Structure 1
Amino acid sequence: MSGPDRGTGPGPGPGPSMLRRLLRAFEEAAPGEGLAQIADRLGFDRAEAADLAAYWVRKGRLRREEIGTVDCSGCFFASRGCTTCPDDSAAPRPALVALTPVRRPGPGTPAP
């Protein structure tokens, strides 16, 4: 069977099983495994995987954290001739984005 509910083949958009597969992959991911690696492993288009991850962020099942700073002056690479950041100091700086699963408490476990 193909189609959006199976996560394969053409269809109008991501189906429920694709959403569940992506969330499960994040929950079971190896340390350091990111969205790109998970998308590749699942055979998902990376842009579509990003949309699926954004859904889980909105639902509170994944936490999105930007690691870094908007000021390059404290960056290790700034002193090494990095050319990644634009010259305009008001422009946003690149940051590492981490997506981590939010663990739901089990039965009988008090919520934090």
Structure 2
Amino acid sequence: MSGAGGTGGGAGPGMLRRLLRAFEEAAPGEGLAQIADRLGLGRAEAADMAGYWVRKGRLRREEIGAVDCSGCFFASRGCTTCPDGSAAVPRPSLVALTPVRQNPKGTA
């Protein structure tokens, strides 16, 4: 069980802030799975918490690769459409979560 104020495990306000800070301080290539493990969270719980920060505009969710790509030669070159007109076969894409840097007040 989580402690009062979300200081233990679980999705309290303190853990939400810890997750955001972990993304802000993450090493290059460190992903949600590693951050969840480091914070002692389940991956589904960490994903739900990250979704909260995406909705609040503090994390950016970016899909890298096309979700509906057929996996042809052109797809590996960054194309997002199927040039041969064949039906696209769904395949997973890489999802990146990156912190949105907040500008200090009074700066452009």
> Counterpart amino acid of 1:30?
A
Task: Show structure 1 runs of 5+ residues with no match.
Answer: 77-88
Task: Show structure 2 runs of 5+ residues with no match.
Answer: 77-86
- For 2:32 and 2:18, locate their aligned partners in 1 and report how far apart those are by CA, in whole Å: 13
Task: Report 1:90-105 matches (<5 A).
Answer: 90-105=88-103
2:7 match:
6
Q: How many matched pairs?
A: 95
Deviations 1:27-78 (A, max 9, x none): 00001100000000111111100000000000000000000122111345xx
- For 1:66 and 1:97, locate their aligned partners in 2 and report how far apart those are by CA, in whole Å: 5
Deviations 1:69-91 (A, max 9, x none): 22111345xxxxxxxxxxxx444
> Counterpart amino acid of 1:64?
R
- For 1:14 and 1:27, locate their aligned partners in 2 and report how far apart those are by CA, in whole Å: 18
Identity %: 69
Change (3 A) 1:39 1:90: same
Moved over 2 A (4+): 1-4, 89-92
Return the TM-score normalized by structure 1: 0.75
Deviations 1:8-30 (A, max 9, x none): 2xxxx610001000000000000
